[in-house]
Amino acid sequence: MQVTVNGSPVEYHVAGYGEPVLFVHAFPLNSQMWQPQVEHVSRGYKTVVLDLPGFGESPPAQEAPTMFSYVETVAAVLEAAQVDQPAVLVGLSMGGYILLEFFRRFPERVRALVLADTRAAPDTEEARQNRLDTAEQVLQEGPRVLVESMVPKLLTSRADDVVRLRVREMIFAATREGIAGALRAMAARPDSRPTLETITVPTLVIVGGQDDLTPPAEAEGMAQAIAGAELEVIEGAGHLSNLERQDAFNAALLRFLDDLGSS
C-alpha cells in the first residue's frame, strides 16, 4: 500500500487485527527486517510496517529528510492505515531515534514504546563527521560501501547465514539518496536524553547482549531514565537483536503487548 507524504510515495504494509503496533526500521534496512515480528505479532494485533524514504520500496524524498520529516512519514502512515487510537510504536536503532522525536511531537498518539538497540544521546563530533563523509562516499560509490563496513557491526560472527544474507540484500536495496539523507538526518538529530524523563507511557527497552553499536550500558541508562521502563537484554544477539534472536525478541515483545492489554 502507498501513501503520499510531502509529495513522495511511501510504502507500508498492514497485517492482522487488533490493537495497533507500528514498527520503524533501522538504518540502512527496510520494513522487511520486521518480518519475523510481523508474522508472530499479527496473530493478535494489527501490525503496520513502512519503508522510510529511499529504503525498501519507497523512493527517496524530494527534500532532504530530517528526524521530523521521518516523524511526519510515520504519522501519515498511521493515518493511512486507519489507526485512529494511540498505537504501540516499536523502533530499532534509527527507528528508536525517530520514535523519540515522535514522542516529543505527538505524545498523545503513543500508547506504549519499544526502544530496541538504540540510544538517546546525540552523535559525538567525530561520529557526526564520519556520517557526513560516509554520505558523500555512498553518493559516489553506492550502498556497497556500507555492506562491507556495517554488516560485521550489525550481527555477531555467530549469526545465521540466511539472516546475514537478508541484511546484505536489504542494504543493497537502499538508494544512495536515501542512505545519504538518513546519515545527514541522524548526524543532525537532537539530544533526546531530556525526553526520556518526559515519557509516561509503558516502555520496553531491548538490547542485544553483544550489541557493540548501542551497547547494553546505553540501554540500561535509558531504562533507568524512563519511569517504570522494563529492560530486556537478549544474550547471543548483536545490534539487530530482532533478527539474530527472533525467538527471544518475539517473546519479550509479545509479553509486553499482552501485559498492556491487561493493564
Binding site for ligand MLT (CB under 6 A): 26-27, 93-94, 186, 213, 239
How many residues appear in the chain?
263
Write down the least CB distance from residue 190 to ligand MLT, Å: 14
Give the containing element (helix H, strand E) for 12.
strand 8-15
Cβ closest to ligand MLT, residue 10 vs residue 80 = 10
Cβ closest to ligand MLT, residue 27 vs residue 45 = 27
Write down the least CB distance from residue 152 to ligand MLT, Å: 12
Write down the least CB distance from residue 25 to ligand MLT, Å: 8
Cβ closest to ligand MLT, residue 26 vs residue 89 = 26
Q: Residue 151, SS3? A: helix
Radius of gyration of the chain (CA): 17
Write down the least CB distance from residue 194 to ligand MLT, Å: 19
Round to whole Å and give the CA distance between 235 and 99: 24
Residue nearest to ligand MLT (CB): 93
Beta-ladder partners of 20: 46
Round to whole Å and give the CA distance between 184 and 112: 28
Write down the least CB distance from residue 122 to ligand MLT, Å: 10
Do you find a cis peptide bond into 152, omega within 30 degrees of 0? no
250's grid cell = 518475539
Cβ closest to ligand MLT, residue 87 vs residue 171 = 171
Write down the least CB distance from residue 128 to ligand MLT, Å: 11
Tell me if 228 sits within 8 A of 263, measured CB to CB.
no
Residue identified by cell 526502544 is 115
Cβ closest to ligand MLT, residue 53 vs residue 202 = 53
The letter for the amino acid at 233 is V
Round to whole Å and give the CA distance between 188 and 18: 36
Cβ closest to ligand MLT, residue 42 vs residue 214 = 214
